[in-house]
């Protein structure tokens, strides 16, 4: 029933998103088959909406997978250095392969994102102080180190404007021909759903998983590959969307518990609704100008993140 309500909310917000913008698109114009309005709808508004739906659902599910595998509610691509590592990969591809295609940049970004996530997991294995709040703070520090390396090389090679414009989360430049790579996320989400029960068992610990006959390392690696691939695709296509994979799974878990397979559809729908709402706010708050989605999600998401930190701290006491 909750998913039905979320689906209705997503549908209403999606319709609103199609008709909000500087270029006029209205129902009467579409019924008259107005050429300009149809062109705007088909080549700008629909690609933007599709990008929001795929990016919102996939990044929320990435956070859910990471939280399950690390057994920590505050771990996500934002707080584990995955996004920052993907950004470093994009910068490296711009430096070393100036004429690289989007697919080649995605592969390089994926390899860096996967390497960064694996390094974070190794750091987790070596940390003896397994405090719930301490671990994501370590991930944020690790991500800042990777981000500083990206900024250093960008400044050194006069690419700071390029990399800043590339990585700033925004749907304003999404048009036909600039978002299709996001479709790579769809089969990865299907694989995530098929492996949901295995991720749940892996989240109970290596010894428990092995006793149940599960290949623990293989399942964890599959989960990390899915997260790294989706993150690199979203960062390359849309830019960085902070805190999305952190707050959405936590909100769902508060109301539905920790059943991964049960939470996947709800997490995806809530992620879509949240990103569409933030995108609409970004389009109307200083109309006719637009606020990047990375800023609106970052401001709202950071406030929710602080609340979750305080809430988690209270529950520990």
Cβ contacts of residue 202 below 8 Å, gap of 6+?
Answer: 68, 69, 209, 214, 216, 219, 220, 223
Q: Which residues span the domain enclosing 229? A: 2-316
pLDDT exceeds 90 at position 273? yes
- Specify whether the CB–CB gap between 217 and 122 falls below 8 A: no
- pLDDT for 112 equals 92
Average pLDDT over residues 183-197: 90
Query: Which residue carries 């769809």 as its tokens?
Result: 186
Instruction: Supply 5's token pair.
Output: 């309500």
- Specify whether the CB–CB gap between 197 and 261 falls below 8 A: yes
Question: Of 22-36, 68-82, 161-175, 225-239, where does the model show the most confidence?
Answer: 225-239
What distances in angstroms separate CA 183 from CA 42, 52, 54, 110, 190, one per listed residue? 17, 12, 8, 15, 12
List pLDDT tens digits, range 21-53. 777 777 877 778 778 888 888 888 899 999 999
Structural domains counted in the chain: 1
pLDDT class of 239 with cuts at 50, 70, 90? confident
Instruction: Supply 243's token pair.
Output: 């805190």
Q: Considering the chain, what is the average pLDDT of its residues?
A: 84
- pLDDT for 275 equals 93
The values of phi and psi at residue 56, to 5°, are -65, -45
Cα gap 187→190, rounded to integer Å: 5
Instruction: Supply 60's token pair.
Output: 């929320």
* pTM, entire model: 0.87
SS3 assignment for the chain: CHHHHHHHHHHHHHHHHHHCCCCCCCHHHHHCCCHHHHHHHHHHHHHHHHHHHHHHHHHHHHHHHHHHHHCCCCCCCCCCCHHHHHHHHHHHHHHHCCCCCHHHHHHHHHHHHHHHHHHHHHHHHHCCCCCCCHHHHHHHHHHHHHHHHHHHHHHHCCCHHHHHHHHECCCCCCCCCCCHHHHHHHHHHHHHHHCHHHHHHHCCCHHHHHHCCCCHHHHHHHHHHHHHHHHHHHHHHCCECCCHHHHHHHHHHHHHCCCHHHHHHHHHHHHHHHHHHHHHHHHHCCCCCCCCHHHHHHHHHHHHHHHHHHHHHHHHC
pLDDT exceeds 80 at position 316? no
- Output the domain CATH number for residue 106: 1.10.3470.10
pLDDT exceeds 90 at position 262? no
Cα gap 28→134, rounded to integer Å: 55
Tell me the sheet residues that pair with 168: 240
Cα gap 266→151, rounded to integer Å: 36
């Amino acid at each position: 029933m909750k998913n039905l309500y979320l689906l209705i909310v997503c549908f209403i917000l999606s319709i609103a998103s199609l008709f909000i913008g500087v270029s006029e698109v209205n129902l009467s114009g579409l019924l008259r088959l107005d050429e300009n309005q149809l062109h705007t709808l088909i080549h700008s508004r629909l690609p933007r909406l599709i990008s929001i739906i795929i990016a919102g659902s996939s990044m929320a599910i990435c956070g859910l997978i990471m939280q399950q595998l690390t057994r920590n509610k505050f771990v996500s691509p934002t707080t584990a250095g995955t996004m920052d590592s993907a950004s470093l990969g994009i910068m490296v591809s711009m430096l070393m392969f100036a004429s690289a295609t989007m697919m080649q940049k995605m592969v390089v970004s994926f390899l860096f994102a996967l390497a960064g996530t694996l390094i974070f997991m190794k750091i987790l294995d070596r940390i003896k102080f397994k405090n719930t709040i301490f671990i994501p703070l370590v991930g944020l520090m690790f991500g800042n180190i990777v981000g500083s390396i990206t900024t250093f090389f960008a400044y050194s090679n006069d690419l700071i404007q390029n990399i800043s414009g590339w990585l700033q989360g925004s749907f304003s430049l999404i048009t036909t021909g600039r978002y299709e790579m996001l479709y790579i996320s769809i089969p990865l989400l299907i694989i995530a759903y098929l492996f949901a029960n295995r991720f749940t068992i892996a989240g109970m610990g290596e010894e428990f998983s092995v006793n149940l006959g599960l290949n623990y390392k293989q399942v964890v690696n599959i989960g990390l590959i899915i997260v790294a691939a989706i993150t690199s695709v979203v960062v390359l296509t849309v830019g960085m969307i902070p805190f999305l994979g952190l707050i959405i799974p936590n909100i769902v878990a508060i109301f539905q518990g920790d059943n991964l397979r049960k939470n996947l559809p709800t997490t995806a729908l809530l992620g879509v609704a949240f990103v569409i709402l933030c995108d609409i706010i970004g389009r109307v708050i200083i109309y006719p100008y637009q606020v990047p989605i990375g800023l609106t999600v970052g401001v709202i998401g950071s406030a929710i993140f602080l609340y979750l930190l305080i809430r988690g701290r209270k529950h520990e006491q």
